[in-house]
Amino acid sequence: MKEGPDIARVAALIGDPARANMLTALMVGKALTATELAAEAGVTSQTASTHLAKLDGGNLLRVRKQGRHKYFSLATDDVAAVLEGLMGLAAKSGHLRTRTGPRDASLRKARVCYNHLAGDMGIRMFDSFHGRGFLVLEREALRLTSEGAEFVAGFGIDLDKLAAQKSPLCKECLDWSARRSHLAGSLGRALLSRIEALGWAKRDPDSRAVIFTQRGEAAFARQLAVATV
Amino acid sequence: MKEGPDIARVAALIGDPARANMLTALMVGKALTATELAAEAGVTSQTASTHLAKLDGGNLLRVRKQGRHKYFSLATDDVAAVLEGLMGLAAKSGHLRTRTGPRDASLRKARVCYNHLAGDMGIRMFDSFHGRGFLVLEREALRLTSEGAEFVAGFGIDLDKLAAQKSPLCKECLDWSARRSHLAGSLGRALLSRIEALGWAKRDPDSRAVIFTQRGEAAFARQLAVATV
DNA sequence: CAGATGGTTCGATTAGGGTCGAACTATGAA
DNA sequence: TTCATAGTTCGACCCTAATCGAACCATCTG
Three-state SS letters, chain B: CCCCECHHHHHHHHHCHHHHHHHHHHCCCCCEEHHHHHHHHCCCHHHHHHHHHHHHHCCCEEEEEECCEEEEEECCHHHHHHHHHHHHHHHHCCCECCCCCHHHHHHHHCEEECCEEECHHHHHHHHHHHHCCCEEECCCCEEECHHHHHHHHHCCCCHHHHHHCCCCCCEEEECCCCCCEEEEHHHHHHHHHHHHHCCCEEECCCCCEEEECHHHHHHHHHHCCCCCC
* pLDDT at residue A100, rounded to an integer: 43
| Residues B126 and B181 sit within 8 Å (Cβ to Cβ) | yes
* pLDDT at residue B100, rounded to an integer: 43
Indicate the DSSP class of residue A201. E
Residues of chain B with CATH 1.10.10.10: 7-75
Q: Of the segments A1-15, A125-139, B48-62, B113-127, which one has the largest average pLDDT value? A: B48-62
**Which of A15, A87, A138 lies at the smallest CB-CB distance from B12?**
A15
Mapped to the 3 state alphabet, what secondary structure does A98-156 carry? CCCCHHHHHHHHCEEECCEEECHHHHHHHHHHHHCCCEEECCCCEEECHHHHHHHHHCC
* pLDDT at residue A2, rounded to an integer: 47
Contacts of A77 (CB under 8 A, 6+ apart): A114, A167, A168, A171, A173, A184, A185
Looking at the predicted structure, is the pLDDT value of residue B118 above 90? no
CB contact under 8 A, B4 and A141: no
- A20 to chain B: which residues are within 8 Å by CB? 6-8, 11
* pLDDT at residue A96, rounded to an integer: 53
Contacts of A105 (CB under 8 A, 6+ apart): none
* pLDDT at residue A53, rounded to an integer: 95
Q: Class for domain A7-75, per CATH?
A: mainly alpha
**Closest protein residue to C17 (Cα–C1'):** A16
* pLDDT at residue A128, rounded to an integer: 87
**Closest protein residue to D22 (Cα–C1'):** B46
Closest chain B residue to A140 measured between Cα atoms?
A: B180
The pLDDT tens digits of the residues spanning B205-219 come to: 777 888 999 899 989
**Which of B9, B13, B90 lies at the smallest CB-CB distance from A9?**
B90
Calculate the angstrom distance between C1' of C19 and CA of A103. Answer: 32
Residue ranges of chain A whose pLDDT lies below 70 = 1-5, 94-104, 138-141, 166-167, 174-180, 228-229
The pLDDT tens digits of the residues spanning B140-160 come to: 467 888 899 999 999 999 988
* pLDDT at residue A99, rounded to an integer: 42
| Residues B226 and B135 sit within 8 Å (Cβ to Cβ) | no
